[in-house]
Amino acid sequence: MTLQRTLSFEPEITAFYCIYCGYMAADTAGALEIQYPANVKFVRMPCTGKTDVRYLLEAFEQGADGVYIVACPIGNCHHVRGNERGWERLKRAKKILDDIGVGGERLDIFFMSGSQALAFANAARTMTERIRELGPNPLKTNAEFGTRTVEQETDEDERFRGRRAA
Tens digits of residue pLDDT in 37-90 = 999 999 999 999 999 999 999 999 999 999 999 999 998 888 889 999 999 999
| pLDDT score recorded for residue 145 | 47
Task: Give residues with Cβ within 8 angstroms of 160, minimum separation 6.
Answer: none
More confident residue, 112 or 153: 112
| pLDDT score recorded for residue 139 | 87
* Band of residue 105 on the pLDDT scale cut at 50, 70, 90: very high
Distance CA(89)–CA(57), nearest Å, equals: 11
pTM attached to this predicted model: 0.78
Distance CA(111)–CA(123), nearest Å, equals: 10
Distance CA(76)–CA(82), nearest Å, equals: 10
Q: What is the DSSP letter of 80?
A: B
**C-alpha closest to that of 142 among 132, 131, 154, 151:** 151
Distance CA(147)–CA(14), nearest Å, equals: 24
Tens digits of residue pLDDT in 118-165 = 999 999 999 999 999 999 999 886 555 454 444 444 445 566 566 666
pLDDT(106) > 90: yes
- Please return the burial class of 150, using the count of CB atoms within 10 Å of its CB with bins 0-12, 13-18 and 19+: exposed
Distance CA(4)–CA(54), nearest Å, equals: 34
